[in-house]
Amino acid sequence: MGLTRSRRRPVAIDLFAGVGGLSLGFEQAGFDVLAAVEYDPVHAAAHQFNFPQTEVLCRDVRKIGRAEILETARRGWRLHHKSGPAWDGVVDVIVGGPSCQGFSTMGHRDQHDERNDLLLEFVRIVVEVRPRSFCLENVPGLLQEKYSPLRERAFSRLRSAGYRISGFDRPVNAAHFGVPQNRKRVVVMGSLESEVPPLTPSGHLVSVAESFSLLPDASESEILTQVDSVPCANLPPGEWSLSDSPYARHMAGVAKDPKDLSRPRIWDPSLLTNSRLSTHAPESIKRFSSTPQGSVEPVSRFFRLSLTGQARTLRAGTGRERGAFTSPRPLHPVRNRVITVREAARLHSFPDWFRFHVTSWHGHRQIGNSVPPLLARAAAQCIAKSLGITPSRGKASVYLGDEELLRLSMAEAALLFGARAEEIPAQRTRKAAA
């Protein structure tokens, strides 16, 4: 006899999954993410490393439909349940953050950008699969007046399908949900069963100092200019360490987060990962040294983090299909360098067991493009409440994937997933991207 909905952990499908910020947040709220769809093979490989029980489909969302998504989820169910009942086919939630550059208030905006249509692709799949609920994340630009026709077209389709929608009236700030970063986003949620309650801010603002607490000082290791990992024992703690920071203790894994219902990961906390240092010219270092915390270095336009405040929005830059532009990275509050991928992960609420591609460019993009897990968790808790679900904690520990997944080139990752050449990001020159 199969499991009833009330006895099993609710299940999710993540579209436009990237490295898995939404996936992690929903897992932390008690959902099992059965399937993730991501068209970039490098990001898909990193997702597979961090979520080895999730079936990753490396495809363009525009090219797939209900049957392929449900079959992928069925395989993901079997990865989560090696033995026992078959999946009943009920999808509790579909989540996703469609590419938002066309709506972005940063840089060039284009209401005719083809990426804006990905919003409608998300809606199409929700209507076809008909999950009990959905969660859509995007930038505040989506709410601008010029996008009203597109919004109304999308939301009308969802309402016609029976979904009660909330969260489309104003953006929320991730900083109000325990993320040490000022990052405003629109989180639209909908349910077939009852209206999803609004997101409720946590009240405590986590500072940069708290987020970097218990993190070894990567600047003390010259080898990190050549590699991305080093044993923690080789490094002293940063001078910003605050061992009583609950946020840092949870991120470092030295204390359990009582609200984290995810399946525990088996990892090596003695290794500092994703911490390759950027090399700066002497004249740049001199300018950085005279830049106070909380201010912008006038030549590079890099913002120096303030230990007592929150980071500005971490940005991803553009992918290879848009010219591979690198977005400005914040300056470390104490050291005269830009932050590492691991430090960016702390500012985004990714725990230290979570890994990114070993190349800094990929790693920073994976973080900048993702939904902060703590913001995703807050949304997931609202959805669980609307569905009458009281999720249980994941008990069985999970081994992370093969580390080679984090070293793959685009071509190697595409080969691994059998990705179709016409669906993966194509290299474009910067002149063409402009």
58 token code pair: 């490396």
Strand, coil or helix: what is 97?
Answer: coil
Q: Which of 368, 356, 397, 365 is nearest to 273 (CA)?
A: 356
State the pLDDT at residue 35. 98
Would you please indicate which residues are annotated as catalytic (active-site) residues?
A: 100
Q: DSSP label at 324?
A: -
Q: In whole angstroms, what is the distance from residue 173 CA to residue 140 CA?
A: 10
In a domain, 426, yes or no: no
Per the CB < 8 A criterion, the answer to whether 166 and 188 are in contact is yes
Q: In whole angstroms, what is the distance from residue 304 CA to residue 292 CA?
A: 7
- The per-residue pLDDT for range 377-421, each reduced to its tens digit, is 999 999 999 999 998 998 889 999 999 999 999 999 999 999 988
In a domain, 198, yes or no: yes
State the pLDDT at residue 425. 84
Q: Is residue 189 within a helix (H) or strand (E), and if so which, with residue range?
A: strand 184-191
State the pLDDT at residue 312. 96
Q: What's the CATH code of the domain at 186?
A: 3.40.50.150
pLDDT above 50 (res 297): yes
- The per-residue pLDDT for range 224-278, each reduced to its tens digit, is 999 999 999 888 776 666 678 999 999 999 999 999 999 999 999 999 999 999 9
208 token code pair: 């940069």
In a domain, 290, yes or no: no
In a domain, 304, yes or no: no
282 token code pair: 């002497």
Mean pLDDT of the chain: 90
State the pLDDT at residue 6. 46
Per-residue confidence band for 1, with pLDDT thresholds at 50, 70 and 90: very low
Name which residue leads in pLDDT, 319 or 68.
68
State the pLDDT at residue 181. 98
Strand, coil or helix: what is 61?
Answer: helix
Q: What is the pTM of this model?
A: 0.92
In a domain, 48, yes or no: yes
In a domain, 128, yes or no: yes
The backbone torsions φ and ψ at residue 303, rounded to the nearest 5 degrees and listed phi first, read -90, 130
State the pLDDT at residue 176. 97
Of all residues in the chain, what percent carry a pLDDT higher than 70?
A: 89
pLDDT above 60 (res 330): yes
In a domain, 17, yes or no: yes
**Domain hosting residue 107, numbered range:** 11-204+370-417
State the pLDDT at residue 76. 98
| 337 CB neighbour count, 10 Å cutoff | 19
Q: How many domains does the chain have?
A: 1
State the pLDDT at residue 321. 45
- The per-residue pLDDT for range 127-185, each reduced to its tens digit, is 999 999 999 999 999 999 999 999 999 999 999 999 999 988 899 999 999 999 999 99
